[in-house]
Amino acid sequence: MSRIITVAMPAHGHTGPLLAITADLVARGHEVAFLGGSRFAEAAGATGARFVALPPVADFDDRDINAAFPGRAELPAGPERALFDVRHIFIDPIPAQYQALQALLAEFPATAVIGDSLFQGMLGLALARPKGERPAVVSIGTAPPTLQSVDTAPFGPGLPPLAGEQGRQRNLALNAEATRRGEPLRQYAAALFASVGVALPEGPRTDTIVRAPDHYLQLTVPGFEYPRSDAPASFRCIGALPPLAAAEFETPSWWHELTDDRPVVVVTQGSLAHDDLTELLVPAVRALADHEALVVAVTARPDGPQALAERLGTLPGNVRVAGYLPFERLLPHADVLVSNGGYGGVHTALRHGVPLVVAGAGEDKPEVAARVQWSGAGLDLRTGRPAEADLADAVGQVLGEPAFRERARALSAELAAHRPLDAIAELVAALG
């Protein structure tokens, strides 16, 4: 058995997958130390791993991200806020992450470091020393890959592939422009790496995130990820992680209404983007108020049902509202998921063969939404604040055209054929 270090950014969408991997490695008999956010100490301990907290300068509580990063709330959603996030949430912690990882390695020599792909302090290990002089570095793609390719547009705006020579020329031009525009951030990151004695390579920083690790394992399947003829051999899709055991929950009084007698449309803004319910939940409920479907609005906040009712005035008769519901129990009853495009949530829907309507802005959500439409499993509304009419039309189209459900079911079968935890365990075994 091996000693393994697992690491993750202190945010739920990044930490959750790494804790699932950590628990599986512990169950297979490995000795594991998890380095992550302090609010996840109990969850990490429950895996059987040793928990090590990130230093305060690299730690934050993602449940109130604006409080953790003053000034963020004043920026409009879009490119300006995205730039703020990349600089302050993902790049600024690099030295502290790297130093914390080095300190842990000094007392807990490990065969491999397995981490969330956006925990960029982990890259320092891969960049500072050759393979034989350090642990193997295994990056887990918890968001769509940022790797540039002649076959794809650059990461960010959510542009799907364009076939043929026209597409290749478009991609070359857009990637060159993205590299130029990203150079100030690369230099900013390079200075932080240099402060701990690590040289960041020339070229797109987004490529280094994927190319520098010894192995880059993307948590999806080829049917949901753009093909790249020039991807490195270290890059592969291993499937989405299996669900955790559904927690016990109090079944709502309306649960018996989830039947095959009428369509069920589930609406969510995700587990964290729930401060402003008018982004998606309010317009979706209004758009579907006269629809034949039963609409289940999941607010992901304890006061959500009351807050949504206050914003709507009157709750439509076909709408049921909940604060928290386990999607592993809810989605088997759903015919459509209306979502803001969280990577994990979208894959949960696809595991159950549920097609989607996605309205997402910020972070990686435009890229996730674009992949939903490219894969044929749903529609991308290309905005984080969709109009009611557009939502109504999109839900009607996805419900009315069997191709969306068929494609979602095909992706469900593809996901079921992959065994990501086995793939990681086999890699660890091969490393010795």
Q: How many CB atoms lie within 10 A of CB 166?
A: 9
- pLDDT of residue 138 exceeding 80, the answer is yes
Average pLDDT, the chain: 94
CB of 33 closer than 8 Å to CB of 108: yes
Who contacts 39 (Cβ-Cβ below 8 Å, separation ≥6)?
10, 61, 63
Nearest Cα neighbor of 35 from 5, 12, 13, 59 is: 5
pLDDT at 292: 94
| 151-199 pLDDT, tens digit each | 999 999 999 999 999 999 999 999 999 999 999 999 999 999 999 999 9
Nearest Cα neighbor of 316 from 280, 288, 357 is: 288
CB of 59 closer than 8 Å to CB of 29: no
In b/e form, how buried is each residue of 192-211, taking b as 16+ CB within 10 angstroms? bbeebebebeeebbbbbbbb
- pLDDT of residue 271 exceeding 70, the answer is no
Sorted by where each starts, the structural domains of the chain and their CATH numbers stand as 3-238 (3.40.50.2000), 255-416 (3.40.50.2000)
- pLDDT of residue 247 exceeding 70, the answer is no
User: What's the rounded Cα separation, in Å, for the pair 361 and 341?
Assistant: 8
The DSSP-derived string for 65-130 is HHHHSTTSTTSPTTHHHHHHHIIIIIITTHHHHHHHHHHHHHHS--SEEEEETT-GGGHHHHHHS-
The H or E element containing residue 282 is helix 281-287
User: What's the rounded Cα separation, in Å, for the pair 368 and 418?
Assistant: 20
CB of 6 closer than 8 Å to CB of 17: no
Specify the pTM.
0.94
| 307-355 pLDDT, tens digit each | 888 888 888 999 999 988 889 999 999 999 999 999 999 999 999 999 9
User: What's the rounded Cα separation, in Å, for the pair 360 and 357?
Assistant: 10
In b/e form, how buried is each residue of 10-32, taking b as 16+ CB within 10 angstroms? bbbbbbbbbbbbbbbbbebebbb
User: What's the rounded Cα separation, in Å, for the pair 157 and 76?
Assistant: 16
| 69-119 pLDDT, tens digit each | 999 989 887 788 889 999 999 999 999 999 999 999 999 999 999 999 999
Phi, psi values for residue 276, rounded to 5°: -110, 95
| 32-57 pLDDT, tens digit each | 999 999 999 999 999 999 999 999 99
